[in-house]
Amino acid sequence: MSEITGQIWIGSYGDIANEEFLDEREITQILCCAEELPLRIGFPYSPKFQGHKVPIIDDKVDEKTKAYFLEAATVLDGWVNDGKKIFVHCFAGISRSVSVVITYLMVFKGWSYDLAFQHIKLRRPRINPHSDFIPILKSIEAKLPEQETHYPRPYY
């Protein structure tokens, strides 16, 4: 798992099994960004956590992908504003979850795509948003007010 901000971590589906790690960081919210992962009784994974799922399809874009990015970013923003600590995941923590956090940083923090990508890349070097997601992210960026032109103050 990788800390992206003081409240947001990105990781894989397998990382969720590490409840000790989640507990140490006081994570209470889990945002699942993977269509193929099942919704379980007591979602997400333990009654200790609250969760939300956006069924983003792995390595495929359809007419719903942009709406899912925006939905997930909105949920993330609500939790951040409530002071919650959040774990965002897809299957591998490389593409879908990263794209959602990029969307959040652009829409709710006013960052450009490039700033958001670089910020996350510094904290989670193995990121690799699917090439079909990039035009969607850029279209979200294009509809936002003027972006930051300098590197924003880090979240620590």
Considering only 17-31, 72-86, 111-125, which range has the smallest mean pLDDT? 17-31
Question: Got the DSSP string for the chain?
Answer: -EESSSSEEEE-GGGGG-HHHHHHTT--EEEE--TTSPP-TTTTTSTT-EEEE--PPTT---TTHHHHHHHHHHHHHHHHHTT--EEEE-SSSSSHHHHHHHHHHHHHH---HHHHHHHHHHH-TT----TTHHHHHHHHHHTSSPPPSSPPPP--
pTM over 0.75: yes
Name the band, by pLDDT with cuts 50, 70 and 90, for residue 39.
low
Q: Which CATH superfamily is domain 2-142 in?
A: Protein tyrosine phosphatase superfamily (3.90.190.10)
